[in-house]
Amino acid sequence: MKPFIRMKNTFLIIVFTICPLVSKAQQKVYEPNWESLDTRPTPAWFTDAKFGIFIHWGVYSVPAWAPTDIAVGKNFGQKFSEWYWYRLMDPTNQYFAPYHEQLYGDRTYQDFATDFKAEHFNPDKWAEVIAGAGAKYVVLTSKHHDGYTLWPSEQSWNWNSVDVGSHRDLCGELSKAVKEKGLHMGFYYSLYEWFNPLYKKDVNRYVDTHMIPQMKDLVTRYTPDVLWTDGEWAHTSEVWKSEEFLSWLFNESPVKARVAVNDRWGKNTRSKHGGYFTTEYDHVYQKEGVDDVYHPWEECRGIGGSFGWNRMEDLNHYSSSEKLIHMLIEKVASGGNLLLNIGPTHDGRIPVIMQQRLADIGDWLEVNGEAIYSTSVWEEAPSTKEEGIYFTQKGKDLYVICKAWKSTIQLPVSKGKVTMLGSDVKVSVKKSKIGVDIQAPDLTPDKVPCDHAWVYKIENAF
């Protein structure tokens, strides 16, 4: 508040100008170039959240098919049912066209849109299931590479969920329900569209009149906390005008102070520019940033082999609850997040097997979430991953996470009170040459606090 004084006749008038309190992060102007944009930190809420739910849902959820009996390797993408239209139109693909012709004859992919009715979609139920899993954020596919949007986009006239299919604003309904649960809502958005005539004819005009206006509409309409772009590999960030868009997003948009973005903004950007780095099914795994300087990162993957719902997957294709919990532990202990995907059915149901896996993760996090949320990497951690022992740190406290029950754990720490999360049974600790030995408590089956992994907390270890 800065006063200044002005005389008028014989009266003394004091005028106060009020300077708004703006954080340093909000005050900074991000220029439309990577040198400036890359200085913007990923919001703390994202790095604290650790666990999110990805949702692939769209017209591809109607055929809901991809082969499951082929080797991965160079066919890595063949298992993704959300790529149905692209594979169908590929004359070199030996799987999709024969299947489609046998079941649907000459019906086109576009014809599936009328069957994407989402008649059983209950956004409150979805939000309840996701919150029960212990997830802190949601990323819904607002538009995949087929160009069909789950909101009434002006740029996708007659190819969106309000004009054809469910006749519902699916992005809006789920966003409202998720936010009411206190979770962060985000959207996946594909930069490119396989068969959009404008994109194929004039990519620059597509970017200017379709893509950027559409992204700005998505952001201003639903104020998401995450914008997760994809399909960036077709062009450089210069062609996509990503730097200009991100400058708007960080400086002018209604979510400028809190939105988190990923690194998929051009074929030159992944693991180099943007926000947090993204890995997929551990494909080209990278947990650290450029020049080995730590950078926020996130692993995304499905519970099964596909992101979109695949009716051909059976129990053998789904990760067990134990495997998923262990995966979450491994990613968080390495400093990352886990974005675990679910693929709902075309009528709006979350498959029961996916609900069951999420419920089990939620049960584990209810006991052990303290060792996951808002934690950081223990830089001095001994190499014990082969033994199934992982570490996280929060302030002065250390968490020792055991994927298998260990009778004795040797640690290079010399102080701190040791307890097991979820249990009030005393933990025995003995001094050793390197620090301390933790003796597993003698617990009866009814006293074991959880399944799949167990956590010791060492208070004031540092």
Say if residue 419 is in the same domain as residue 355: no
Domain assignment present for 4? no
Q: Chain centroid to CA 77: how far?
A: 19
**CA quadruple 235, 241, 245, 246: dihedral sign:** positive
Residue 23 predicted with pLDDT over 80? no
Say if residue 411 is in the same domain as residue 264: no
> Model confidence over 47-58: pLDDT tens digits?
999 999 999 999
> Model confidence over 413-462: pLDDT tens digits?
989 999 999 999 999 999 998 899 999 998 888 889 999 999 999 999 99
Say if residue 290 is in the same domain as residue 150: yes
Say if residue 331 is in the same domain as residue 393: no
Domain assignment present for 378? no
Of residues 50, 63, 3, 94, the one with CA closest to residue 325: 50
Q: What is the CATH number of the domain that holds 167?
A: 3.20.20.80
Q: Which residue has the tokens 């979510």?
A: 255
> Model confidence over 241-274: pLDDT tens digits?
999 999 999 999 999 999 999 999 999 999 999 9
The domain total for the chain is 2
Say if residue 96 is in the same domain as residue 159: yes
Say if residue 242 is in the same domain as residue 295: yes
Residue 8 predicted with pLDDT over 50? no
Residue 21 predicted with pLDDT over 70? no
Q: What is the pLDDT of residue 293?
A: 57
Domain assignment present for 10? no
Distance from C-alpha of 459 to C-alpha of 462, rounded to nearest angstrom: 8
Distance from C-alpha of 248 to C-alpha of 30, rounded to nearest angstrom: 9
Say if residue 277 is in the same domain as residue 418: no
Structure token digits, residue 40 = 């913007």
**Range of 398's domain?**
385-459
Say if residue 341 is in the same domain as residue 396: no
- What angle, rounded to 10 degrees, do the helices at 123-132 and 352-368 form? 40
Of residues 288, 286, 361, 282, the one with CA closest to residue 328: 361
Is residue 439 within 8 Å of 408, Cβ to Cβ?
A: yes
Q: What is the pLDDT of residue 286?
A: 43
Residue 345 predicted with pLDDT over 70? yes
Say if residue 161 is in the same domain as residue 109: yes
Distance from C-alpha of 216 to C-alpha of 221, rounded to nearest angstrom: 8
Domain assignment present for 56? yes
> Model confidence over 107-147: pLDDT tens digits?
999 999 999 999 999 999 999 999 999 999 999 999 999 99
Say if residue 149 is in the same domain as residue 176: yes
Residue 73 predicted with pLDDT over 50? yes
Q: What is the CATH number of the domain that holds 419?
A: 2.60.40
Domain assignment present for 128? yes
Domain end call among 371, 397, 425: 371
DSSP character string of 233-282: GGS-HHHHTHHHHHHHHHHTSTTTTT-EE-S-SSTTTTTTSSSSEEEETT
Sheet bearing 389-394, strands edge to edge: 389-394, 397-402, 454-459, 417-420
Domain end call among 341, 371, 401: 371
Q: What is the pLDDT of residue 27?
A: 74
Residue 181 predicted with pLDDT over 50? yes
Residue 4 predicted with pLDDT over 70? no
Residue 172 predicted with pLDDT over 50? yes
Domain assignment present for 1? no
